[in-house]
A and B are shown apart, each in its own frame.
Chain A
């Protein structure tokens, strides 16, 4: 997994609540057996019209937001299906950080597995960032310091320490868990004795 430390980019504002994973990447694109290549189809139905032409008023279709690496959006982002294709599509488009006042559970976890940082902030703080985003200027996200800098302002954010460590070091959590193989074997042997019907 790629390390995440400092990210500089122009934030794009998608002012919608309850953006679901079907909106982020519709099902016709779930037929892939790869993790890459989904960026073109990100937000497909909002981004393209029926003839496949890009819809001008959609934020990510416009300069400079078509190169945004940070997305500002409404609460409960990523609700619905567990498809990891949703963070894959965002990442493939170039978005590495999503800022919202809340995220759906599975989507939130899926981001971290792909070196992406979802940040939870109060709506008031997000509003400040939204206003700033209209300037089309870069902001900086520093994970180590848990800090967002924009203009001469700073907003701090909270993050789970284990998730932070994994992102900063690009850790493969499967490798970390495999280091506990002995404990897993011990658990399995105990279960064999105590719950023999499970094997």
Chain B
């Protein structure tokens, strides 16, 4: 029987099949961070349980960490307690942690791949919905709640019900100025924020194959914004080259065995998908969001939609609410929307390739006078690499702030946040109300589009800057 990639990984991880369609699934890699783990460790302590496989667990603080003056420690009292609690818990339970002074510290979904902790064919979980990022390696990676974090710590397994298979094929070629971020925004725009609920999306087709591993991570990362349990891309030669010689990648004889195994990780011809969608690359333009849900997308040449044209009453009400929150009038040209802030970073777009893409646009230009712009590299290693390439200088000379790594203004748990009614062009993943600060207004877009908006001071078509 032909199997999908998801079926194969699922089947290989069943520890025990229960009678009621659920299975006890083995977890190969567990990432933890400071926000969703303290209550899980507390639960272990109360029930006198241990971490079953500390060697398969990796911890880092990212959500709450300051991105400036780090040597002075964390000012916010609650954030400080949370980060220190993570350090204490890791020490007590014997879990590896990259602390704030470690150059390997960074966003949990960036450091996993960077270290080779993320590997094809594995089940990877983390108490964070953007765990789907790791699916770019052909691993089944998904976000879990704190109770499940505790379950994994104690048993190295999870009770799961199998999801359905959804394949999104992106065929043809991407046009100039169109990136992985635009592909995923377009996909979410088509299927909606609940379009993938109960499913695992496998992304396939020539466009996906043509993308770098980093760009594939951007795609898988936002699978959750389409409601999917996980996103997956079959590993190929690019995946193998990416992982070769990473600190935690298999070595020597094991490396040979691993790549032999990874080569089998693809959906069989004729495998059955419960749902399929095909998108032609040439139909995707540079995208931007207008509302407060990631499905509220439009091409940069488009307009703010008009709720009066919406027939569904629920949707109309939700559009009106969004537009009022966003301070936008129907039928406004997207390129006429002025921005106050630019945020380049996050687990969606905080990798070296993203910074290079933005820097290409920025080079030799200046950030518009009324705009505050910042770059937050996804990890200490991304930052170091960028500095070696002189990318930090390109940004700084243009007027960007160059920060220390962390989640930062993607969710604004630290000091980096929008003020009420401030409008931000952001490379992050969510434009929910209040996401980047109470009353803050978010437009999601690619790093190149964010760079172009920084220069012009309003949303703009990046293709102007592409030669």
A interface residues with partner B (beta carbon < 8 Å): 15-18, 20, 22-23, 26-28, 30-35, 45, 50, 74-76, 79-84, 87, 102, 104-106, 109-110, 113-114, 160-162, 172-174, 177-178, 180-181, 183-184, 187-188, 191, 195-199
Contact = CB atoms under 8 A, between A and B. Distances in A.
A183 B413 contact: no
Contacts of A160: 20-22, 161
A187 to B, nearest CB: 5
A35 B150 CA distance: 13
A82 B42 CA distance: 19
Contacts, number: 182
A27 B122 contact: no
Interface string B22-37: 1010101000000110
Nearest to A166: B159
B314 A23 contact: no
Interface stretch (B65-73, B140-148, B279-287, B354-362): B140-148
A75 B432 contact: no
Interface of B: 15-16, 18, 20-22, 24, 26, 28, 35-36, 38-39, 42-43, 47, 49, 52, 55, 63-64, 76, 78-79, 81-82, 85, 119, 121-122, 127-129, 131, 143-148, 150-151, 154-157, 159, 161, 193-194, 197-198, 224, 227, 229, 250, 254-255, 257-258, 261, 293, 314-315, 317-318, 321, 411-413, 420, 430, 432-435, 438
Contact of A196 (B20, B128, B159, B257): B257
Contact of A27 (B26, B39, B413): B413
A178 B44 CA distance: 13
Contacts of A110: 145-148
A177 B314 contact: no
A114 B151 contact: no
B258 to A, nearest CB: 4
Contacts of B64: 31
A34 B85 CA distance: 11
B15 A183 contact: yes
A105 B227 contact: yes
A63 to B, nearest CB: 25
Nearest to B89: A33
